[in-house]
Amino acid sequence: MNEIVKGSVERYLYRLLPARDAVLSEMERFAARRDIPIIGPAVGRLLALAVEISGAKRIFEMGSAIGYSTIWLARAAGRGARVYYTDGDPENARHAQANFRRAGVAERIQVLVGDAVRLIDRVPGKFDLVFIDVDKHQYPAAFRKAVPRLRRGGLLLADNALWSGRVTRKAADRATRGIQQFNRLMYSSPRLFPVILPLRDGVAVCLKR
């Protein structure tokens, strides 16, 4: 839990959430045991909502770990969708592939291993939605790669936009500076209409106009 929202309110929000199926619940427990920073169910639902409202079918995810957020995206996108999973760690990718099979979405996900900021160049065409969750110092580079690849009316989402409140600090570390710069880039782009939602650790949602 982060302290963006008062603890009691945050706990209230999480208590409201419906139970997840066996695959997602097990992934949540696995991530907690191994200290893997996944978006969790509240932000998972936000991703699913963004996909369903926009009708996104071509989705590129930058930083997918064990595939928890990928499953929320792929399930919401439905049959015929193409979701690109990316992670730099082959062990994560192996776990993710097993999870995709168990979740029944393996056929709509393409697993790419390597640097997501470079991998996006290897996939041709425009995307309906790009979700950024790589190392935080890479957010500006990810932003610069992602925005030109979104179709008009497409969505850019990014996790950790408030970074446990560290974004408010002046003398910041590399990760925090990356998020601060990313947030400035979003709000100064004439092509984007951004909103940062103070959900969990902050989620940026931008419409490309």
Ligand X SMILES: C[S@@+](CC[C@H](N)C(=O)[O-])C[C@H]1O[C@@H](n2cnc3c(N)ncnc32)[C@H](O)[C@@H]1O
CB nearer ligand X, residue 81 or residue 157: 157
Question: What residues between 58 and 117 interact with ligand X by CB under 6 A?
Answer: 63-65, 68-69, 86-89, 92, 115-117
Residue 195, phi then psi, degrees to nearest 5: -140, 135
d(CA 146, CA 141): 9
Nearest to ligand X by Cβ — which residue? 63
**134 contributes a contact to ligand X by CB under 6 A:** yes
Pairing state between β 109-113 and 58-62? unpaired
The residue ranges of DSSP E strands in 88-144, in sequence order, are 109-113, 127-132
CB of 179 to ligand X, least distance (A): 13
Amino acid letter, residue 144: R
Give the interface size with ligand X as a residue count (CB under 6 A). Answer: 20
Q: Which helix (H) or strand (E) holds 158?
A: strand 150-159
Question: What residues between 22 and 51 interact with ligand X by CB under 6 A?
Answer: 37-39
Pairing state between β 58-62 and 82-87? parallel
CB of 118 to ligand X, least distance (A): 8
CB of 83 to ligand X, least distance (A): 12
d(CA 196, CA 157): 9
CB nearer ligand X, residue 63 or residue 154: 63
CB nearer ligand X, residue 144 or residue 209: 144
CB nearer ligand X, residue 35 or residue 188: 35
CB nearer ligand X, residue 110 or residue 153: 110
Q: Which helix (H) or strand (E) holds 145?
A: helix 139-146
Nearest to 133 by CA among 191, 96, 182: 182
List of residues contacting ligand X (CB under 6 A): 37-39, 63-65, 68-69, 86-89, 92, 115-117, 133-135, 138
